[in-house]
């Protein structure tokens, strides 16, 4: 996957704009829909240092994440006050704690064996971080590496891309539905139109944006 975005430059600040700094409200609300059991594993592609990683592990789940930036991974452990061990594996530095494994490296190098036990993919602000010309490759890779039939919880953004350029890119729910068709069916869960007043988005010209949650079920 050819990348044009320099993600390391986003991580020169320890807390980039996309970091929510709290548990994602859709994750908290919709996780029970997936009937997971304590000890089940959740995969978070392009996980950043999301507080969601910590929260999910505190709920008794195992979390596997992949993230390009070492700054992000180290900040996650530092800010969560969690001890880890670091091991080197082929294409990754792997950071392991009790219920958390973070692969620091490129998502495109993840293999199915890394995710053999996963029961859910939780994608918040990950598909929107992928350049439009890479979305098909991202989807193909995702379907190669996750166990067949596991569902996904996706949180996406939609806005007028004539006004603002990504990342994050605008990826409407309809596009996610088309992208994952025919292997998955997408079910709309909830949308929320947010004013951008006083936010970093307003500085980029945007008046509002829509955040949506989707459930994807394997067909």
Where along the sequence are the contacts to ligand SAM (CB under 6 A)?
Answer: 7, 18-20, 46-48, 50, 66-69, 72, 106-108, 124-126, 129, 168
- Residues ≥6 apart with Cβ < 8 Å to 208: 159, 193, 194, 195, 196
Residue 219 has which token pair? 């067909």
| Shortest Å distance, C-beta 182 to ligand SAM | 25
**Beta carbon nearer to ligand SAM, 37 or 128:** 128
Cα separation, 21 vs 31, in Å, equals 19
**Beta carbon nearer to ligand SAM, 169 or 184:** 169
**Beta carbon nearer to ligand SAM, 151 or 168:** 168
**Beta carbon nearer to ligand SAM, 108 or 189:** 108
| Shortest Å distance, C-beta 39 to ligand SAM | 23
| Shortest Å distance, C-beta 104 to ligand SAM | 8
- Residues ≥6 apart with Cβ < 8 Å to 118: 41, 42, 43, 64, 146, 147, 150
| Shortest Å distance, C-beta 129 to ligand SAM | 4
Cα separation, 60 vs 179, in Å, equals 32
The answer to whether 186 and 214 are in contact (CB under 8 A) is: yes
């Amino acid at each position: 996957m050819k990348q044009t975005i320099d993600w390391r430059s986003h991580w020169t600040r320890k807390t980039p704009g996309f970091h929510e700094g709290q548990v994602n409200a859709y994750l908290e609300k919709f996780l029970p829909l997936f009937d997971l059991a304590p000890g089940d594993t959740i995969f978070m592609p392009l996980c950043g240092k999301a507080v969601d990683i910590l929260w999910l592990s505190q709920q008794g789940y195992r979390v596997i994440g992949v993230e390009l930036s070492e700054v992000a991974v180290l900040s996650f452990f530092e800010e969560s006050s969690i001890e880890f061990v670091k091991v080197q594996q082929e294409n990754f530095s792997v950071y392991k704690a009790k219920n958390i494994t973070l692969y620091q490296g490129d998502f495109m190098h993840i293999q199915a064996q890394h995710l053999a036990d996963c029961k859910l993919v939780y994608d918040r602000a990950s598909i929107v971080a992928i350049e439009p010309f890479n979305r098909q490759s991202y989807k193909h890779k995702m379907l190669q590496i996750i166990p067949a039939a596991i569902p996904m919880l996706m949180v996406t953004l939609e806005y007028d891309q004539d006004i603002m350029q990504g990342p994050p890119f605008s990826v409407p729910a309809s596009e996610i539905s088309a992208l994952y068709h025919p292997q998955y069916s997408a079910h709309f869960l909830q949308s929320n139109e947010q004013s951008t007043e006083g936010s970093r988005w307003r500085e980029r010209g945007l008046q509002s944006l829509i955040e949506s949650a989707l459930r994807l079920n394997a067909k």
